Structure 1
Amino acid sequence: MPTDCINYQNSGYFSPLMNDYLEQKSNLQSLYNRFPSLENFEEQIIEKKINFNGNDNINGNAKREVLATVLEAQYAKIIASTTTLNNIKLLNNSKTFTITTGHQLNLFSGPLYFLYKIISTINLTKELKAKYPENNFVPIYWMATEDHDFDEINYFYFKGRKFRWNKESTGPVGRLSTEGLEDFFEVYAQKLGSGKNAEVIKKLFQESYLNHSNLADATRFLANELFGEQGLVILDADNPDLKRTFATYIKEELTQQTSHKKVIETIKELKDYAIQVNPREINLFYMEDDLRERIIFENEIYKVNNTKIELSETEILELVENHPEKFSPNVIMRPLYQEVILPNLCYIGGGGEIAYWLELKSFFDAVKVTFPVLLLRNSALLSTEKQAQKANKLGMSWGDLFSKQIDLVNTKTAELSEFSIDFTPQKEQLRKQFEALFEIANQTDKSFLGAVKAQEAKQIRGLENLEKRLLKAQKRKYSETIERITDLQNELFPNKSLQERQANFSEFYLENGNDFIDKLIATLKPLDTNFEIITLH
């Protein structure tokens, strides 16, 4: 089977910003604190410890106590592993730090990279513990319970078919009732079929979604079942006690709008890249069970978009004091909320997430909160042994399979052809032949020179057309082999996209059971920047 490896930068699936970040280009170094390496965590630990204890009017011990108490309450109704419960207790210790990833509450985890994010987080805590044994490191999954874009999370793909939960939602998804998922489950269960692993998946879905009343509790149960034995701690930050810890920053955002000013400045530095998110003047929502709407400041009055709610400065600051849970950070403010309430060292996310975090460094500096290390999550390609053998038989490397399909087909057709279908030598020979004509043309009038140039261009185009026709003819000749190549690529890259962005974990669990997750945990290396190619049965 192929043995080559593909780094993220050469895979063709990451943005120029992410490629330059991974290359540690000098123009980006002011936008992050420390690049992710085991050695760089030493200074990050020292800085975070000092900052967490004294960057606001609530000391670190008090914040730790609130965090641990909230987590104990959230875990009261599920069976957690000894490791997870111990990790929650350890959060009271000043030598305990967190490594965090966040993810939406996608139905049944959504695409595969949900697993890769969490495993990257778990595995990094293990590496840090080995490097810095005097400290403790707790993996955190931050559930995006306050998001309200239900259409982004109400489906998943299984064996190429989209399973969608048809339901209306306007408020934070974590509070959304799971009522109605029974009918969805019946359809999905039929597609799973029978067998030991199929029954495990069915039971997992039932216990997660049919036995819990809201999406936050369902997702917590699911993630705990998959990763609880690894000590994962799952946090729902939609909580009044945690928001009270963050109240100072909510007030500052309402009255000073520092995030908007600072992020706009940073965006100017990122002018050569696509901007991931643009800040609003106030980066907070007003939130209730069935409502999450932007807060707008107009004519000295705070208004809640699409409602009749209007508040003076005094009234809104009083509301923050008494009901901080009514204020929900958006994509700009959420990272700050995370870093204020957690003794966090590192955030692990996908390329899009790291891109918007890079917009935030100056904002964090302005409000005097330590900026975390930013680590791009692991990416992997899952292949069966049969697919790996097929690639080998077709003479394909993994790098070939990561190519755009049109490039892959052209390259493989050229390799299969018994003669060259590249007419570059003929074109060069033609250009040399025209050199003599150009010498003559330069000694006559411009009209003749133009005629020579036109004739050269015409004959070059003729060769290029012949080249295309020959390529097309050779594709027909080797059509069976080319079809096997494209079929294999389509299996591994569904919809011409990364597998991890399409397929649900249950597709692979169905064939491999829990060995599938065990193999991911054993294989993924969080600080490695190569795609892991993982062969399954």
Structure 2
Amino acid sequence: MKIDAIPFRKTGYFSELICDYIEGDKEVKPYFGRYPDLEGFKEQLMEKRSGFPKENREVLGKVLRRQYGDFRMSGATKNNISHLINNTAFTVTTGHQLNLFTGPLYFLYKIITAINLTRKLNIAYPDFQFVPVYWMATEDHDFEEINYFNFRGKKLRWNPAGRKEGAVGKLATTGLDILFETFSQEIGGGQNAETLKGLFKSAYLEHGNLTDATRYLANALFGEYGLVILDGDERELKKLMVPYVKRDLLEELSFKKVSETIDQLQEIPKNYGIQVNPREINYFYLIEGLRERIIRKDGRFYINNTQLEFSNEEIVKELNESPERFSPNVICRPLYQEVILPNLCYIGGGGELAYWLQLKSFFKEVQIPFPVLLLRNSALVVSAKQRNKLDRMSLEVSSLFLGQSALINKKIREISNINIDFSPQKKFLEEQFKDLYQLAEQTDKSFLGAVKAQEVKQLKGLDHLEHRLLKAQKRKLRDQVLRLTALQDELFPDHSLQERNLNFSELYLEYGKELVPKLLQALKPLSGDFTIIQME
């Protein structure tokens, strides 16, 4: 296995904001706390240790033990849950939706980044314990985002009859037996295929809801590494959030503070853009089959698309008596996480970190430590067969990050037996026109416009000739172009990063039980680069 790296900026797939954050640009520094390095984590754990209540640890431990219930825990996970009661234990957290069969490949990369970072921290600071946590987004209600996974270019979709609205975690797994049959036919036979079928069947056909199915699957893949899986949809955990939810309802606090940050970001000349805009109230009302926005209007609270409404006193009473009914949205879920976990770091993708960077002033206002933010590992996995194709084409993997047209043009210029680069001719032409400009200056300045027009015309003519010659060479070298584009399409399906499209099952078919250990070995949580993994 060969490991290479490319800067995130050079991949072309990450925003200016995230690239600047990774590189520590001065424009971004006001919007995050400590930088993700070993010294930053040491300072973070000292701050979190002094401000995280012991009673919150006790509630967390109790809830986790109950949530695991009859699930078989590894010794490492059991130890990690027991550690969390102590004020020497801290979490490193990543979160993800309950995508069917993990969804895109980066689900694995998020969790592996968390596991590897805790390993590194446990070595660096042996007097403390560091626990990887996967936060299941059980309260999300966008079913269409999670009800499928891609396999060999096909979208395998779950369409249960009579599906209820509301939090996806509570959805019954009814109908997944049909998808299992489809998957079984697509995947074929062999030991690795049978293992995958067993994973799917045990997760989705032997558990009654999506939360339990996802817990089983994540535990099966990562339990031996001590991963702790948490469902935030818990009454006892939400009791800890009551003071913060109350302020949001009555003062619209998150809206005000995040809006201020957005205004500041929009003044930055780089035009970073805004990942998510806050609402006046950033909580949903959550009951069986329903997750709807809470709206404040004319001094009363309304639950969107229902007949439910509350006065100020009634909404506070509802909050105190039924905190489990108040579900944070994307703006307030990070605060919920940091209130209930002794957390040091949040690991997310570029889009996630972009909205976290809008939240620092809000955290400061409610006096909760803002966590270290770490971009999850990203990777391109190249098989030995694909590596051989690259070698035969004398092509570096990094070249494949170019757009397809740019890649083809680059390669055609390299392999063509004629020179298709007219840069020398263009430079010579520009030098000739310098003399004409001087002549016009000395004789009749009214000719300057005509000279300029003629220069533009002739340069365009050279561009046109270069384009025609390149096009002719593409036709002549058609076989090479087809092989090149076919390989790029394999590694960048739908012209996107592999990790955003491929399901882990395709790699598991080839590498089996060695897949996760190989990824754990290859991915370095603090590398700051995009990883290219060339398999043996």
Give TM-score, length-normalised by structure 2.
Answer: 0.97
Q: 1:373 is matched with which residue?
A: 372
CA RMSD of aligned residues (A): 1.4
Q: 1:217 is matched with which residue?
A: 212
Q: 1:17 is matched with which residue?
A: 17
1:22-46 per-residue CA deviation (whole Å, 9 max, x = no partner) reads 1101111111110100121111011
Tell me if the contact between 1:285 and 1:327 (Cα under 8 Å) persists in the aligned partners: yes
Letter in 2 for 1:252: R
Q: 1:238 is matched with which residue?
A: 233
Report SS of the residue matched to 1:138.
strand
Q: 2:400 is matched with which residue?
A: 401
1:382 Cα offset (Å)? 0.9
1:344-399 per-residue CA deviation (whole Å, 9 max, x = no partner) reads 00000000001000000000000000000000000111111111121122111121
Matched, 1:362 2:357: no
Report SS of the residue matched to 2:448.
helix
1:4 Cα offset (Å)? 5.1
Relative to structure 2, which stretch is displaced further, 26-35 or 113-122?
26-35
Counterpart-to-counterpart distance in 1, 2:14 and 2:388: 28
Q: 2:36 is matched with which residue?
A: 36
Matched, 1:49 2:44: no
Tell me if the contact between 2:141 and 2:167 (Cα under 8 Å) persists in the aligned partners: yes
Counterpart-to-counterpart distance in 2, 1:149 and 1:74: 23
Q: 2:169 is matched with which residue?
A: 174
Q: How does 1:403-418 map to 2 (within 5 A)?
A: 403-418=402-417
Report SS of the residue matched to 1:225.
helix
Tell me if the contact between 1:263 and 1:279 (Cα under 8 Å) persists in the aligned partners: yes
- 2:246 pairs with 244, 251, 257, which one? 251
Tell me if the contact between 1:524 and 1:532 (Cα under 8 Å) persists in the aligned partners: yes
Q: 1:227 is matched with which residue?
A: 222
1:178-203 per-residue CA deviation (whole Å, 9 max, x = no partner) reads 11111111111100111111111111
Letter in 2 for 1:246: M
Tell me if the contact between 1:87 and 1:231 (Cα under 8 Å) persists in the aligned partners: yes
Q: How does 1:80-479 map to 2 (within 5 A)?
A: 80-167=73-160, 168-271=163-266, 272-443=271-442, 448-479=447-478
1:254 Cα offset (Å)? 0.6
1:450 Cα offset (Å)? 2.9
Counterpart-to-counterpart distance in 1, 2:244 and 2:182: 46
Letter in 1 for 2:389: K
Report SS of the residue matched to 1:156.
strand
Report SS of the residue matched to 1:5.
strand
Q: 2:501 is matched with which residue?
A: 502
Counterpart-to-counterpart distance in 1, 2:337 and 2:437: 69
Report SS of the residue matched to 1:194.
coil
Counterpart-to-counterpart distance in 2, 1:299 and 1:110: 42
1:447 Cα offset (Å)? 5.3
1:497 Cα offset (Å)? 0.5
1:424 Cα offset (Å)? 1.7
Tell me if the contact between 1:48 and 1:370 (Cα under 8 Å) persists in the aligned partners: yes
Distance change >3 Å, CA 305–CA 426, structure 1 → 2: same
Counterpart-to-counterpart distance in 2, 1:4 and 1:533: 5
Letter in 2 for 1:222: L
Tell me if the contact between 1:150 and 1:169 (Cα under 8 Å) persists in the aligned partners: no
Counterpart-to-counterpart distance in 1, 2:316 and 2:2: 61
Counterpart-to-counterpart distance in 1, 2:400 and 2:314: 59
Report SS of the residue matched to 2:37.
coil
Matched, 1:531 2:530: yes
Tell me if the contact between 1:2 and 1:396 (Cα under 8 Å) persists in the aligned partners: no
Tell me if the contact between 2:441 and 2:448 (Cα under 8 Å) persists in the aligned partners: yes
Letter in 1 for 2:244: Y
Counterpart-to-counterpart distance in 1, 2:439 and 2:517: 74
Counterpart-to-counterpart distance in 1, 2:40 and 2:68: 33
Counterpart-to-counterpart distance in 2, 1:382 and 1:273: 30
Report SS of the residue matched to 2:515.
helix
Counterpart-to-counterpart distance in 1, 2:435 and 2:244: 75
Gaps of 5+ in 1: 53-59
1:481 Cα offset (Å)? 1.6
Letter in 2 for 1:454: A
Give TM-score, length-normalised by structure 1.
Answer: 0.96
Tell me if the contact between 1:354 and 1:376 (Cα under 8 Å) persists in the aligned partners: yes
Letter in 2 for 1:406: S
Report SS of the residue matched to 1:436.
helix
Instruction: Report how many aligned residue pairs link the two structures.
Output: 530
1:51 Cα offset (Å)? 1.7
1:25-81 per-residue CA deviation (whole Å, 9 max, x = no partner) reads 1111111110100121111011011121xxxxxxx1111111011010111121111
1:3 Cα offset (Å)? 7.3
Letter in 2 for 1:13: Y
Tell me if the contact between 1:3 and 1:397 (Cα under 8 Å) persists in the aligned partners: no
Letter in 2 for 1:522: Q
Report SS of the residue matched to 1:318.
helix
Tell me if the contact between 1:148 and 1:169 (Cα under 8 Å) persists in the aligned partners: no
Q: 1:57 is matched with which residue?
A: none
Relative to structure 2, which stretch is displaced further, 190-199 or 321-330?
190-199
Relative to structure 2, which stretch is displaced further, 291-300 or 262-271?
262-271
Report SS of the residue matched to 1:513.
helix
Letter in 2 for 1:114: F
Relative to structure 2, which stretch is displaced further, 23-32 or 141-150?
23-32
1:482 Cα offset (Å)? 2.0
Tell me if the contact between 2:105 and 2:503 (Cα under 8 Å) persists in the aligned partners: yes
Tell me if the contact between 1:284 and 1:329 (Cα under 8 Å) persists in the aligned partners: yes
1:444 Cα offset (Å)? 5.3
Q: 1:488 is matched with which residue?
A: 487
Counterpart-to-counterpart distance in 1, 2:257 and 2:456: 53
1:436 Cα offset (Å)? 3.2
Counterpart-to-counterpart distance in 1, 2:217 and 2:318: 35
Letter in 1 for 2:83: L
Gaps of 5+ in 2: none
Tell me if the contact between 1:4 and 1:398 (Cα under 8 Å) persists in the aligned partners: no
- 1:65 pairs with 33, 58, 64, which one? 58
Letter in 1 for 2:522: T
1:2 Cα offset (Å)? 8.6
Counterpart-to-counterpart distance in 2, 1:41 and 1:5: 24
